[in-house]
Structure 1
Amino acid sequence: MEKWNQTSNDFILLGLFAPNTTGLLLLLLIIVIFFLASLGNSTMIHLIHLDPRLHTPMYILLSQLSLIDLMSISTTVPKMVFNFFSGQKGISFLGCGFQSFFFATMAGSEGLILVSMAYDRYVAICHPLHYPIRMSKRICVKMIIGSWILGITNSFAHTIYAFHIPYCQSRAIDHFFCDIPAMMPLACMDTWVYEYLVFVSTIFFLLVPFLGITASYCRVLFAIYHMHSKEGRKKAFTTCSTHLTVVTFYYVPFVYTYFRPRSFRSPAEDKILAVFYTILTPMLNPIIYSLRNKEVLGAMIRVFPLLFSKKK
């Protein structure tokens, strides 16, 4: 690979699409998805904040998920769009550091928030009498704070390591954002320490939570099967299937990407998988949780009565 001018600390993002007509059309689609995700998640946060009926642990956690999705997609897409239309692919050393830090923070925090949401549904369905104690608002707030602290701590460790190692090869990152594992092939030193750190982080923030969520929902589905109320079974099953859809769509591409050794990964495949958990999931979360949730639909009617007045 070509040697990089050591007087410059900037990086180059090769991007997701080629600068041609097809690439332009695909980027326009990404822009539409970005606006849908921004509108959907902002609306969810607004609804949950304004409607007192949604001031419960389940929806407080959901508002945090929407906030994380909103921040996550805003961390990656605007820079990608700007680089494509401006013809510039550069990103400053500091800008790359901030992008890496915020993305890793959102990724780690979202994984833990999803675990908290799964626990909330588990207690609500399997131990309803203990729900006010096990999932009080105080415990919910502790879960949220813990998720953010652990996410920030993990991200800080990754970012500090990645931006304190020497890069003596080409600084062209074959990705559409500063994903730290995509930067490691550019280093001029052995990065086995970081690869081990990624392995541990993937187990703690992705694999273990995913297995825990799967196990808890298996227990929940078993409890739903033995419910006497047909309406209760239907409502509980809808809620759990919604959560499982989100969890699967988020975790599977993430785990598959970061759990593999570098020798089994390719930049093209990593970028395609990254689209799922950085762009598509933030758009789908508010759609899935609103269209399949009567409480959220009811809140939309109460908060935005003018939009639904014609349907009455």
Structure 2
Amino acid sequence: MTRRLITHLRYLGLAVPNLEEVRDFYTQHWGLVAVDGDDDIAYLAAAGSPENYILRLRRAEKRIDLISFGAASTTDVDEAAATLEAAGVRLVTRPQKLGTPGGGYGFRFFDGDGRTLEISSDVTTREHRTIDEREPVPVRISHVVVNSPAPEATRCWYEEHLGFALSDTLWSKTMGDMMYFMRCNALHHSFAIARGPHASLHHASFEMRGIEEWMRGTGKILRSGARMVWGPGRHNAGDNTFAYFLDPASNTVEYTTALKVLEEDDWHPSKLDVADIETQDQWGTSNEMSELVARESFNDVDHGLFVAPPV
């Protein structure tokens, strides 16, 4: 297996026009902790994660601001930047000391669709704790899924330039490949690419301590008044549980747990037919996947492509 320069998903940055409302949802209901910020930006951490923050919210037109990945060392950051630039990838910034909370060393660049990505190392970790039994708060960020009108090309870009590997594919007899599950470590997926009408966020997923905590968290969010889009159930690809909700900016967010950890050298990707009911939900407990449910995660058109966020 080729050595990867990316080690893990670090955080997701979103721009939202209703910052106060969205921040309050994630801190008062979703279970994240505000660790830094001001009137126009908020940095939110998970109590169980050493990452300085796992979600960044900025007041602006709705978009994906950036997706941040970790690297093991400054040497790997420099090597990633040099390799990407040599391949013609457009850099936003060159490797440098970071001025965001936690500091570190990193750089930003555009992926093939125009999303802003970041690779960083040496970010200060935060004091975190073990999540208690039955405590319904996220342990960490699990994965980010994006929509792409050309998912085949997007998949190839992440494989070629960032060393992601394909874990599994969702497939339809009438529409072809519907979703690619991509990994940068032994977790089944930290990133995925869905076929959509435009580039946008499909969903962001947050890992819970276990099934008991995931189910209690699902009930907690239902009682908060947030709309459940799909769930609760258990996927086939990744073997993880799911419960999808809409946040106050109409981004789809998920509580999950029990994501499969792969023996990478022995793993062979499968094509899973979305027409098979157990592909979507092994348990049969969720509402049936339909065109109306799928449309919820198409999200609004992302107007931030090839426009780097100011922070």
Q: Structure 2 length normalisation: TM-score?
A: 0.25
Q: Structure 1 length normalisation: TM-score?
A: 0.25
Whose helix fraction is larger, Structure 1's or Structure 2's? 1
Whose strand fraction is larger, Structure 1's or Structure 2's? 2
| Structure showing greater relative contact order (alpha-carbon pairs closer than 8 Å, 6 or more residues apart) | 1
